[in-house]
Every structure is written in structure tokens, then in C-alpha cells.
Amino acid sequence: MKKTSETRTRRSRFFSATMMTMGLSVALFMVVAACTDHQAKAKPNFVFKDAPKAGVVAKINGEEITEEALIGDDKLDFFDLKKREFELKMERLNKLVIEKLVGGDAKKANLSLDEYINKKIIGSDIKISDKEFKKFVAEKKIPESQLNPQIRERINSYLQTLKKQELVQAYVAKMTKGSPVEVYFSKPKMQVNVEVGNAPFHGKADAAVTVVVFSDFQCPFCSRGAETVTELKKKYGNKVKIAFRHFPLPMHKEARPASEASMCVNEQSTDKFWKFHDLAFKNQAKLDGPSLEKYAKDSGADAKKYTDCLASKKYADYVQKDLEYGEKIGVKSTPTFFVNGQLIAGAVPIENFAEIIDEELNQPKK
């Protein structure tokens, strides 16, 4: 028993000593951390005031700083923030519209909002046809090998949710047809002066609307963007000028050679360029030299002229300048579109373009 008591005493002393050491270490760490933290948080002295006049956001050493000077070359980043804020507000507004309007009808029917939507608007189980399923798979380019039962179920569930949302939106559209919702915040716009330069283009040179796309032949999202470009050509014909500028990303090693190859084809004919453009985007898995040569031939280009042009690296500097120009105006990813200077980033549906294009086409002539 004596031995056990001594052991306990030793352990107790050891434990106390250990805790004391840890306590000192923690205290010392906190002192050091506090000093370090204090130093890290040292910053300029800012005083927040009302602006002396519109457009001024700060004053440094007596010099007024405008919002334009503050944003500098980061216009696209600031625009993305404003656009996201607008989208969040619209999401919230749509939700409130459903809660207020559909919720009112639900209350009259003595039902909860969800019950009313399911019973009165949706009505029965939503069925997804085989045609709808296949169309979605084709649009999203989902390989057949990946379509296991779980993925199929997820796709069906997603398409059912979309259909339900469409039914609710159609219901709300009827309710607001004669009594529109008044909105007191506006969609942000950013106008960028984008030069077409010597870029290959489709449509009339003096068309009222110009779409400039910065793209990368190896980028999968750009492939979807290319499909949208084809849709725009069909929808608007020569009413819209569509120009292609190169923005090969560093991680896509075959993108730059493909860009140079496309310009060698363009040298022979712009129509041939667009044929090459379509072939290259449809066959992104094969952008090696022989494949690019095949696309050039299939586009109708003279083989010898093409190979001589490519071997001379004639358009290497051209592609590099396109890339540098894109970076200069704020392009950071592909595809990036500018519709009469208004930014559309990413592979988005044609409806996003049509909204801006139709508005621009309907502007009164100056």
C-alpha cells in the first residue's frame, strides 16, 4: 500500500509539474501570439466618411480616388460580384413572390404552400420521357459507360425538379400577367470597349451587334460555347457579327497549336476557318498535328499551303497577342463573350445572349 501511495504521489507531482509547464507554455505562446497578432494587424489609418462628391471613393494624401481608379484592371472581378448580388436578390425575390402569391391561394384553400403546389399546380407524378432523358445526356455529354442505375436516378430526379419549377413559374406568370411585380434594383451592366482587330468573323462587318468570343480549342466548356455560337449564327444570320479571338490556357498544351493551325486555315478563307473551328471543337480528344491537318483538309484548305504556314510559325505571335489583349481587358477564363461590350462569362444557354442581342437590335438607330 505504501508503494502504491508513493506512486500516486509521484504521479500527482508529475501531473502538476506537467500542467504547470503546459500552462507556462500556453501563457508564453499567448504572449508571443498576441505580439505577433498585433503586428500582423497593423494597418493604415482609415476614416470612413460620406463622399465629398459622386464617383469619389477615397482620398489619399489630399488626392481624390475615383471608383474607376480603385477598380483598375479588375473590372471583371467587381462585375462578377455585382452580378452575383443581383442573382441572389432575384432568387430571394422569386421565393418571396411564390410565398406571397401562391401562399395566398394556399391559405384560401386551407393548405400549406407545399401541399397546394403538389396538389393544385403539379397535380400528379412528373414523368420523364426517354427522349427527354437522352436529350439531357447528349447535351451534357455524359458517357454511356457512366450511366449506372444511381446516375440515371439522379438525372431523372433532377429533370423532375426542373419540370416542377417550370410548372410553378408558369402559374406565377399567369398571376402576375396583369399585375407585375415592381422591382427597384437593376441588373448590373458592364461595358468594355473590345476590339475585333483582325479576328476571323461571321456576319456583316457593320452589323448592329458584335459578339467577340475569347476561346480555347482544348477547353471542354468552350466546346459548349462553340455550339452556342452555331445557334447564334442560325438565329441571327448576318444581323450579328461574331468574332473569334484566341485565349489558349497554359494547362491546355494542344490549344495553342490548334489556334495557330486555325489561323493558317483562315488565311485561305474565313468560311474554311469556321469549318475548321467546328471540327476542332467537335473532336477535342484529337488535337494532335495529324488530326489538325485532317481537319484543315476537311475544311477545304490547300494541304501544302497549310503545312508550310504551320511550319513557319507564322501565327504564333498573332495568337500570343490575342492572349495578351484578352488579359489586358480582364479575361481570366474561357469561354468569355462580349456582346456589344457586355460580358457573358462561361458556357451559358443561347437565351442569355438573346436577351442582350434582342435589346441591342431593338435600340433606335442613331
Can you tell me the distance from the alpha carbon of 165 to that of 121, in angstroms, rounded to the nearest whole number? 10
Are β-strands 336-339 and 342-345 bridged in parallel, bridged antiparallel, or unpaired?
A: antiparallel
% of the chain beyond a pLDDT of 90:
73
Q: Can you give the pLDDT at residue 2? A: 38
| Domain edges within the chain | 75-176, 201-361
Q: Can you give the pLDDT at residue 191? A: 80
| CATH dotted code for 201-361 | 3.40.30.10
What one-character-per-residue DSSP string does 98-146 give?
IIIIIHHHHHHTT--HHHHIIIIII-S-----HHHHHHHHHHHT--GGG
Q: Can you give the pLDDT at residue 192? A: 86
Can you tell me the distance from the alpha carbon of 167 to that of 142, in angstroms, rounded to the nearest whole number? 27
When pLDDT is cut at 50, 70 and 90, the band that residue 365 belongs to is low
CB 212 within 8 A of CB 342: no
For residue 136, pLDDT beyond 60? yes
3-class secondary structure, 180: coil
Q: Can you give the pLDDT at residue 6? A: 40
Q: Can you give the pLDDT at residue 366? A: 59
For residue 311, pLDDT beyond 80? yes
**pLDDT tens digit sequence for 9-28:** 444 444 444 444 444 444 44
**pLDDT tens digit sequence for 347-359:** 899 999 999 999 9
Q: Can you give the pLDDT at residue 39? A: 55
CA-based Rg of the chain, rounded to a whole angstrom? 30
When pLDDT is cut at 50, 70 and 90, the band that residue 33 belongs to is very low
> What average pLDDT does the segment 306-318 reach?
97
Cell 426542373 sits on residue = 162
When pLDDT is cut at 50, 70 and 90, the band that residue 36 belongs to is very low
Average pLDDT, the chain: 88
> What average pLDDT does the segment 90-107 reach?
96
Can you tell me the distance from the alpha carbon of 200 to that of 177, in angstroms, rounded to the nearest whole number? 44
The cell numbers describing 181, all together, are 411585380
